[in-house]
């Protein structure tokens, strides 16, 4: 039963400590905001670069740096997010904004893999040419998906 | 052409986001924008007590209907004297505060809790005199 699993999570010692804490919870919360701030910013900058913006910057170096930052930020967001979820797992699991967010994240991650697959040939070649139409399509989709994830996340607290 | 349609897509997305945000205030937990101005009193039986982050809540059974009563963040709720020991499941309880603007929603934000003969003002500055 899912309800049993959520009750078990909520009863774990570190989770109970976080639930009661005066300092730790707001700090984890702030770390989550920092992670998603870096993630969304780096994703937007990468997508804009692929879509033809920021063309004065060398694409290869820029994307390599942004991608590394985005992966670190994503890991941070998952860890801090799981901690925030754990204190009221059962409640969040019934929150429509949370559920939509959890559905959108795998779609956004799959879209990232689709981009990497489609862009392989183009990335290996020169960055001076515009990327193919379907590569730009995945970049535009990425932009919309991650912004939607951000919005859903914010709405968890208001539903 | 491509550039214009992309810009349009972004604009539509942004508008959709604002529309979503504007259409939802009745559901907002944070602050008091989602509640009625006048005081509302709820009497029932304690069904669940949560004293923890991000804010404490009570579930109150009112003649078979479950209400969610939002309290202050845990530090403020405990500072008001309302701990998990202050009430037990099955106790008769009165919550005074502001109910959701959405009449279909069984949800309120309490400023004062009365249980077992004791009064706890979790939002002292908002509590009725």
Contacts of B30 in chain A (CB under 8 A): 157-158
pLDDT under 50: residue ranges of chain A? none
Residue B36 half-sphere exposure toward CB, CA atoms < 13 A: 16
Question: Which backbone phi and psi does A132 adopt, to 5 degrees?
Answer: -60, 160
pTM across the whole model: 0.83
| Helix, strand, coil content of chain B in percent (nearest 5) | 25, 35, 40
- pLDDT by residue (tens digit) across B56-112? 999 999 999 999 999 999 999 999 999 989 999 999 999 999 999 888 899 999 999
Q: Which residue range forms the structural domain that includes residue B68?
A: 35-121
pLDDT bin (cut points 50, 70, 90) of residue B117 is very high
The distance from CA B84 to its chain's CA centroid, rounded to whole angstroms, is 18
Q: Check pLDDT > 60 for residue B26.
A: no
For residue B1, pLDDT beyond 50: no
Q: What is the DSSP letter of B116?
A: T
Q: Do B30 and A158 touch (CB under 8 A)?
A: yes
Contact between residue A123 and residue A138 where contact means Cβ atoms under 8 Å apart: no
Residue B60 burial (CB < 10 Å; 0-12/13-18/19+)? buried
Contact residues of B toward A, CB < 8 A: 2-3, 6, 9-10, 13, 17, 20, 24, 27-30, 34, 50-54, 74-75
**pLDDT confidence band for B12 (50 / 70 / 90):** low
- B23 or A92, which is more confident: A92
**In 3-state terms, what secondary structure has residue B35?**
strand
What is the predicted pLDDT for the residue at A157? 86
Q: What's B129's DSSP letter?
A: -
CATH number of the domain within which B72 lies: 2.40.50.140
- Domain membership flag for residue B20: no
Binned at pLDDT 50, 70 and 90, residue B31 comes out as confident
Q: Is residue B9 part of a domain?
A: no
**Facing residue for A151 by CB, picked from B17, B52, B74:** B17
- Is the confidence metric ipTM above 0.90 for this complex? no
Work out how many domains chain B is built from and give that number. 1
Task: Please give the Cα distance from B37 to B58 (Å, whole number).
Answer: 21
Boundaries of domain holding A126: 2-158
Q: pLDDT value at position B28?
A: 40
Average pLDDT over residues B29-34: 76
Hey, which bits of B1-129 come out as E strands?
A: 40-50, 57-62, 65-70, 92-99, 107-115, 118-121
What is the per-residue pLDDT for B32?
81
Number of independent structural domains in chain A: 1
Q: Is B9 in contact with A144 (Cβ distance < 8 A)?
A: yes
- What pLDDT score was predicted for residue B11? 60
């Amino acid at each position: 039963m899912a309800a049993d699993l959520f009750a078990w999570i909520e009863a774990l010692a570190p989770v109970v400590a976080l639930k009661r804490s005066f300092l730790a919870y707001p700090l984890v919360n702030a770390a989550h905001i920092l992670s998603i701030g870096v993630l969304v910013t780096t994703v937007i900058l990468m997508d804009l670069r692929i879509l033809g913006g920021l063309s004065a910057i060398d694409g290869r170096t820029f994307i390599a740096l942004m991608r590394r930052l985005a992966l670190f930020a994503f890991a941070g967001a998952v860890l801090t997010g799981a901690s925030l979820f754990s204190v009221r797992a059962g409640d969040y699991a019934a929150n429509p904004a949370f559920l939509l967010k959890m559905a959108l994240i795998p779609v956004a991650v799959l879209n990232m893999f689709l981009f990497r697959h489609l862009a392989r040939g183009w990335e290996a070649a020169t960055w001076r040419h515009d990327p193919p139409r379907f590569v730009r399509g995945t970049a535009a989709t990425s932009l919309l998906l991650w912004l939607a994830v951000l919005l859903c996340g914010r709405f968890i607290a208001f539903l | 052409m491509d550039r214009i349609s992309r810009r349009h897509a972004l604009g539509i997305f942004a508008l959709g986001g604002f529309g979503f945000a504007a259409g939802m205030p009745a559901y907002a937990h944070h602050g008091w924008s989602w509640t009625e101005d006048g005081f509302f009193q709820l009497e029932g039986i304690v069904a669940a007590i949560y004293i923890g982050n991000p804010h404490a809540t009570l579930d109150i059974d009112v003649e078979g209907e479950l209400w969610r009563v939002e309290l202050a963040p845990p530090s403020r709720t405990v500072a008001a004297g309302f701990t998990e020991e202050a009430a037990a499941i099955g106790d008769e309880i009165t919550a005074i505060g502001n109910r959701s603007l959405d009449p279909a929603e069984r949800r309120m934000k309490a400023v004062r809790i009365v249980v077992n003969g004791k009064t706890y003002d979790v939002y002292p500055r908002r509590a009725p005199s």
